[in-house]
Amino acid sequence: MEDVRATSAWVASRSSHVLVDSAGIEKVVSTIESIPKVEWDFEGIHYFDNGPLTVQYLFVLDALNFCFWPDEDLNYDDLASGLKAALQNDKSAFDADRLQKYTGPQLRELLRWPRPLPLEDERVRLLHEVGIELERNFEGKASNLVQCCGKSAVNLVALVARHFPGFRDHTVYKGRQVFLYKRAQIFAADLWGAFGGQGYGEFKDIGSLTIMADYIVPAVLRQLGVLKYSPALTSTIESSGEIGPGTEEEVELRACSVHAVEKMRELISKKSGRQVLSVELDLWLWAAGVQCTSLQHHRTLSIYY
């Protein structure tokens, strides 16, 4: 995760379209007495049975957790609750051999979604990838993958990125490799949240995770005055224009969000005298964002978030 922190800071120091506003960070932190505790499943939309099937569910969920915005009626809740219902209806729905065979229409049926999903072919491809690799190296079970990490979230992220190409969320910015690993990190964070830091969710280094750079958190940070956008970027976002994956604007939006929240975390920790986790900040910011219907976020077609 130090690669994520270091390369995000490097982007922030050279950013042309997004500014991390230090004064804005200090102002926000001065108003925070404590980080509001947001329960991991505050909406009651996730499957949980305290066992290996929950791990399998979360891995499938996080393999598909990206790019909802092209369908204005679709959001993360639909995915999480749809997969939950599918698993409650058929406990073998996410067996590795079955994951390898799903088609687009079958995935829609699983989620009870009436029309093609955004990036549907990619979603199906990633399901197949998960099924094939789980079967090849982990006896078909995501719980075995988790047990290989030695209670280290950093090891888990590295293991996921090594074995599952669809989780390799990195790009090149001004000639340098930049690492973000949103969905690999969120798998570790989801395990920690779901299992309350115990069992499959016990990680000795949960504080190593950064925020999960998506399209909600940058918009919330902008709303808070922590991020400032160039006039051109502001115009593109406010007119609902698309921003290409891997462009300077897109990389800056994500990397500057990671760096800004790291700076917020450091200040809050110093002010409160206790360790504040980036995953806690991420859940707080994301929950605030999804409950704000007027939030204007950037639009990028990407499998990474």
| 38-76 pLDDT per residue, tens | 788 878 899 999 999 999 999 999 999 999 999 999 999
pLDDT score recorded for residue 106: 97
Query: Is the separation of the CB atoms in 151 and 203 below 8 Å?
Result: yes
CA 59, CA 187: separation in Å to the nearest integer? 6
Q: Which of 62, 190, 214, 282 is catalytic?
A: 214
CA 153, CA 137: separation in Å to the nearest integer? 19
Query: What integer is the mean pLDDT of 195-203?
Result: 97
User: Does position 33 have pLDDT exceeding 80, yes or no?
Assistant: no
pLDDT score recorded for residue 39: 82
Label residue 275 by pLDDT band (50, 70, 90): confident
pLDDT score recorded for residue 27: 96
pLDDT score recorded for residue 224: 96
Label residue 194 by pLDDT band (50, 70, 90): very high
Catalytic residue check, 214:
yes
User: Does position 291 have pLDDT exceeding 90, yes or no?
Assistant: no
pLDDT score recorded for residue 20: 98
Label residue 157 by pLDDT band (50, 70, 90): very high
Label residue 272 by pLDDT band (50, 70, 90): confident
* 199 DSSP assignment: G
pLDDT score recorded for residue 77: 94
User: How many other β-carbons are positioned within 10 Å of the β-carbon of residue 219?
Assistant: 21
Label residue 293 by pLDDT band (50, 70, 90): confident
- Range 168-207 burial, b when 16+ CB lie within 10 A, else e: ebebebeeeebbbbbbbbbbbbbbbbbbeeeebbebeebb
pLDDT score recorded for residue 60: 98
CA 200, CA 26: separation in Å to the nearest integer? 36
pLDDT score recorded for residue 34: 75
